[in-house]
Amino acid sequence: MGKIKDIELFTLIHDFFKTYLPEQRKASPHTIRAYQKSLDGLLDYAAAQKSISLCEITFASIDHDMLSGYLDHLEKNGCSISTRNHRLKGIRAFYSYVAMRKPALAIHQTEIHKVPFKKMETVVSIDYMSETAMGALLAQPDPSDRKGLRDRFLLLLLYDTAARVQEIVDIKVCDIKRGKAPTAVLHGKGSKTRTVPLMKKTMQHFEGYMKVFHPDTDEYSARPLFYSVSRRTIAPLDESSVRKLVHVYGSAARKVCAEIPDSVHPHMFRHSRAMHLYQHGMDLTLISQWLGHAQLDTTLIYAHADTEQKRKAIEQATPPDSPLKNHLNAEKYQVTDDDLLKRLYGLK
């Protein structure tokens, strides 16, 4: 590693993550990890854009144009507007800390705050797979070998729990509860936990997985459920490994099922599970609890997506010369606040 050009920048980064957030703000590990990902991504992007090494990055390297370019880059690579705004929130938090610690550097906070949060669209488009497509994807790993056994169970658990990818890698052995009504405890955003039920099929794969990967581990163990071994050291499987295997099996499944999208990612399992539950009649309030949404409005995207899909299907099935064609419009099929209220109180 070369000599750090702006030692003050990296000192403040260290203090922000090692002292300020955990000790003074009492931020949860999930929040700290999210902020780390935000700033780390920005620094990598800036270094790549300027064709310099990370140690050459300075406060002056990042202005509002650089930040805007980074956020646009995230969207172009599949991140949602919500994720874009979360990354911006983490970056703003760091620069607010910088201005508090070093008032002379407040000019950089002003520069960062020139980039606004992006307004969410009224109707959010979500990527999800049909039950047929999901079945084809889950069938790809070969459980007859060790890796296939792990991957089959991991994919099934990812779908069954509708967990975020970070929640999956954070699961410990003790978080899976056996019994007549088996459940999984998920550790979500903001140190919040939620318990979700597990299918009988999932538990059958769990038992087979445990015999191979945790043969001498009791059900109260805090060992990571999914792990990797490096130099005889066990560590939780990381997010990138999960994303990679999901992409690989998605590509394989596309050869046998044309419905599989070109690019499959872990969050698509979450969207697919939620959509399938909604399409089978589960109430939105229960789906919201299942997903761990802080606001019910967030869950409403599945109602929007489902009604929009039906509208498009009707539109495609209606001949161009049909008198019904002029009466097919998106507004007619939108889910409104009134619709939500009726669902909440059992009127729909």
What residues act catalytically? 164, 189, 267, 270, 293, 302
Handedness of CA 162, 164, 169, 175 (dihedral sign): negative
Handedness of CA 57, 63, 66, 68 (dihedral sign): positive
| Residue 75 structure tokens | 């969207």
| Residue 225: CB atoms within 10 Å | 26
Interatomic CA distance for residues 137 and 129, integer angstroms: 10
> 123, 141, 156: which is closest to 272 by C-alpha?
156
Q: Is 190 left (phi over 0), alpha (psi -120 to 50) or beta?
A: left
Strands 233-236 and 193-197: unpaired
Q: How far apart, in Å, are the Cα atoms of 220 and each of 61, 174, 185, 191, 225? A: 49, 5, 13, 20, 12
Handedness of CA 42, 48, 49, 54 (dihedral sign): positive
Interatomic CA distance for residues 221 and 73, integer angstroms: 41
